[in-house]
Amino acid sequence: MNIRSYRYVKTKSFIIMGIFAVFLSHCATVPGTGRKQFKLIPNSQMSSMGESSYKEVMAKSKLSADQTKVAMIRRVGENIAKAAEVFLTAQGRESELKYYKWEYNLIDDDKTINAWAMPGGKIAFYTGILKLADTEDQVAVIMGHEVAHVLANHGNERMSQGLLVQFGGLALSKIIQNKPEATQQVFMTAFGLGSTVGLLLPFSRKHEYEADQIGLILMHRSGYKTQAAVDFWVKMTKLSKNSPPEFLSTHPPSEKRVEEIKKHIAELK
Ligand SMILES: [Zn+2]
């Protein structure tokens, strides 16, 4: 090997080692499933970006005046969040609780069949989705799933991948520190806030199934009937054959999904 190619190999291995170090130092574990994930952005930053985006969406939205429905959404949310706190604490992750300032709002919009969660625990339901989730247990299916996306830091994982694609493996922590506007831009893209407000890009199938799994644990622990998840997703699978609403385009129902849910329910018992 001559000097030049030696230098080339040396530089290349330094770059690879650098990328590897970035991965290692930002490797986290998903609560409940134990999956390893690449998470680049500090939780505190995710929460504050989630909070400000949520405020923006809420300011533009008409909140429901139906006090019975609003109270139901908040009751389910509080029950699931309480279970989430116990769930994290049991895994020695109580230090993460400070990042969550749970909030649940019901937006008065019958045409939007959707629900979503922002990092930090900011959750929105649209009145439209209550036509599909017509019992409190079924609302708990969706709430559990959305809270699970938050606890599993799926937004952070997706953003970290986005940043990696945009800036490569180098000096990412510097970009996050010194270029908050670039980080904010990736956040906006990851959460689909650029064009249609509050319409999240679909999570990957891996994230969807993981959110189902963790969501079922939360539902079960808050005393809701987990069978409602099977009923809900069977109903969604049938519905998706015609003209699927937003929620189903980001949450594709399938027989496989129902089978996975059944499997996780059996594990809980
Ligand atoms: Zn989801």
Query: Out of 15-24, 145-154, 190-199, which region has the weakest mean confidence (pLDDT)?
Result: 190-199
Give the whole-angstrom CA distance, residue 214 versus residue 229: 12
Domain layout of the chain by residue ranges: 43-268
Question: CB-hemisphere CA count at 13 Å for 154?
Answer: 28
User: Ligand 1 center to residue 4 CA distance, Å?
Assistant: 50
Instruction: Say how many C-beta atoms besides its own lie within 10 A of residue 239's C-beta.
Output: 15
| All residues at 6 or more sequence positions from 151 whose CB lies less than 8 Å from its CB, including other chains | 31, 32, 84, 87, 88, 214
- What residues sit around ligand 1, an ion, with C-beta below 5 angstroms? 211
CB 247 within 8 A of CB 169: no
Give burial (CB, 10 Å; 0-12/13-18/19+) of 216.
buried
**pLDDT single digits (tens) 197-229:** 344 556 788 899 999 999 999 999 999 999 999
Question: pTM for this one?
Answer: 0.84
**pLDDT single digits (tens) 31-62:** 999 999 988 888 998 999 899 889 988 999 99
User: Ligand 1 center to residue 258 CA distance, Å?
Assistant: 14
Query: Out of 17-26, 122-131, 252-261, which region has the weakest mean confidence (pLDDT)?
Result: 17-26
Give the CA dihedral 129, 132, 134, 137, nearest 10 degrees: -90
User: Ligand 1 center to residue 5 CA distance, Å?
Assistant: 48
Give the whole-angstrom CA distance, residue 242 versus residue 240: 5
User: Ligand 1 center to residue 204 CA distance, Å?
Assistant: 9
Q: How far is CA 50 from CA 75, 123, 258, in A?
A: 22, 10, 30
User: Ligand 1 center to residue 202 CA distance, Å?
Assistant: 7
Task: Return the pLDDT at 160.
Answer: 83
